[in-house]
């Protein structure tokens, strides 16, 4: 697996990852780990290509779940987070 670095993504992508984690409203810890889209998003497709997210099919045809990877959560959260906590999100 390739090593991911925050410097590999744009400030907008970083902000979107934090929003997907529920960290955009002064939350102290991640409260979720996904972004749901009604159609594929270029921004999130790029994050998936770079290893920051995993793309999964949504509930309806054409819809997409982007799940933030454990490594990306650790980078965006900037604090140590256990795999157990990540899996419970």
- The answer to whether 68 touches 74, Cβ cutoff 8 Å, is no
Please check whether residue 77 lies inside any domain of the structure: yes
Using a cut of 0.95, tell me whether the model's pTM lies above it. no
pLDDT in tens, 7-40: 999 999 999 999 999 997 777 889 999 999 999 9
Look at the chain and report how many structural domains it folds into.
1
Instruction: Please tell me whether residue 55 adopts helix, strand or coil conformation.
Output: strand
Please check whether residue 2 lies inside any domain of the structure: no
Residue 14, beta-bridge partner list: none
> Which domain does 13 fall in, by range?
9-88
pLDDT at 79: 80
Please check whether residue 3 lies inside any domain of the structure: no
């Amino acid at each position: 697996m390739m090593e991911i670095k925050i410097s590999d993504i744009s400030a907008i992508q970083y902000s979107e990852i934090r929003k997907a984690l529920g960290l955009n409203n002064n939350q102290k810890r991640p409260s979720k780990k996904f972004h749901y889209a009604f159609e594929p998003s270029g921004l999130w497709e790029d994050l998936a290509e770079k290893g920051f997210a995993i793309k999964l099919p949504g509930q309806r045809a054409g819809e997409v779940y982007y799940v933030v990877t454990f490594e990306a959560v650790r980078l965006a959260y900037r604090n140590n987070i256990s795999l157990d906590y990540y899996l419970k999100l």
